Amino acid sequence: MSEPKVVFDRLPLTERSRLMSALRQETVGGALLLGAAVLALVWANSPWRAGYQDLASTVVGPEALHLNLTLQTWAADGLLAVFFFVAGLELKHELVLGTLSKPSRAVVPVVAALCGMVVPALLYVGTVRAMGDAEAAVGWGIPMATDIAFALAVLAVMGAKLPVALRAFLLTLAVVDDLGAILVIAVFYNHGFSPVPFVLAILGLLLYWFLQQRRVDSWLVYVPLALVVWGLMHASGVHATVAGVSLGLLTRVRPDPGETEAPADRYEHAVRPVSAGLCVPLFAFFSAGVTFIGLGGSAITEPVAVAIVVGLVIGKPLGVFGGAWTVARFTRASLSSSLRWADVLAVGVLAGIGFTVSLLIDELAFEADPVRLTAAKIGVLLASVVAALLASVALGLRKRAYAALAEIEERDEDGDGVPDVYGTDPNSPDSR
Residue 2 has pLDDT above 60, yes or no: no
Three-state SS string across the chain, please? CCCCCEECCCCCHHHHHHHHHHHHHHHHHHHHHHHHHHHHHHHHCCCCHHHHHHHHCCEECCHHHCCCEEHHHHHHHHHHHHHHHHHHHHHHHHHHCCHHHCHHHHHHHHHHHHHHHHHHHHHHHHHHHHCCCHHHHHHCCHHHCCCHHHHHHHHHHHCCCCCHHHHHHHHHHHHHHHHHHHHHHHHHCCCCCCHHHHHHHHHHHHHHHHHHHCCCCCHHHHHHHHHHHHHHHHHHCCCCHHHHHHHHHCCCCCCCCCCCCCHHHHHHHHHHHHHHHHHHHHHHHHHCCCCCCCCCCCHHHCHHHHHHHHHHHHHHHHHHHHHHHHHHHHCCCEECCCCCHHHHHHHHHHCCCCHHHHHHHHHHHCCCCHHHHHHHHHHHHHHHHHHHHHHHHHHHCCHHHHHHHHHHHHCCCCCCCCCHHHCCCCCCCCCC
CA 405 remoteness from chain centre = 26
Q: Calculate mean pLDDT across residues 293-316.
A: 86
Residue 368 has pLDDT above 90, yes or no: no
d(CA 134, CA 114): 24
Specify the pLDDT at position 371.
Answer: 87
Q: Calculate mean pLDDT across residues 251-262.
A: 89
Specify the pLDDT at position 321.
Answer: 93
Specify the pLDDT at position 230.
Answer: 95
Of 328 and 156, the structure prediction assigns the larger pLDDT to 328
Of 233 and 427, the structure prediction assigns the larger pLDDT to 233
d(CA 266, CA 212): 13
Weakest mean pLDDT among 50-64, 197-211, 309-323: 50-64
Residue 404 has pLDDT above 90, yes or no: no
Of 426 and 357, the structure prediction assigns the larger pLDDT to 357
What does R_g of the chain's alpha carbons equal in angstroms?
22
d(CA 18, CA 93): 11
Question: Could you give phi then psi for residue 70, rounded to 5 degrees?
Answer: -70, 160
Weakest mean pLDDT among 64-78, 159-173, 374-388, 391-405: 159-173
Q: Calculate mean pLDDT across residues 344-351.
A: 90
Specify the pLDDT at position 3.
Answer: 52
Residue 424 has pLDDT above 60, yes or no: no
Nearest to 226 by CA among 88, 31, 108: 88
Sign of CA dihedral 29, 34, 35, 39: positive
Residue 405 has pLDDT above 80, yes or no: no
- Predicted TM-score (pTM) of the model is 0.86
Q: Calculate mean pLDDT across residues 190-213.
A: 92
Judge whether 357 and 330 are in contact, CB under 8 Å.
no
pLDDT single digits (tens) 127-149: 999 999 999 999 999 999 888 77
Domains of the chain: 9-48+70-189+239-291+298-410 (1.20.1530.10)
Q: Calculate mean pLDDT across residues 45-70.
A: 88
The angle, 0 to 180 degrees and rounded to 10, between the axes of the packed helices 355-365 and 280-287 is 50
The angle, 0 to 180 degrees and rounded to 10, between the axes of the packed helices 241-249 and 164-188 is 130
Average pLDDT of the chain?
85
Specify the pLDDT at position 420.
Answer: 62
Specify the pLDDT at position 416.
Answer: 65
Judge whether 85 and 242 are in contact, CB under 8 Å.
no
Specify the pLDDT at position 431.
Answer: 43
Specify the pLDDT at position 175.
Answer: 82
Specify the pLDDT at position 52.
Answer: 92
Band (415; pLDDT cuts 50, 70, 90): low
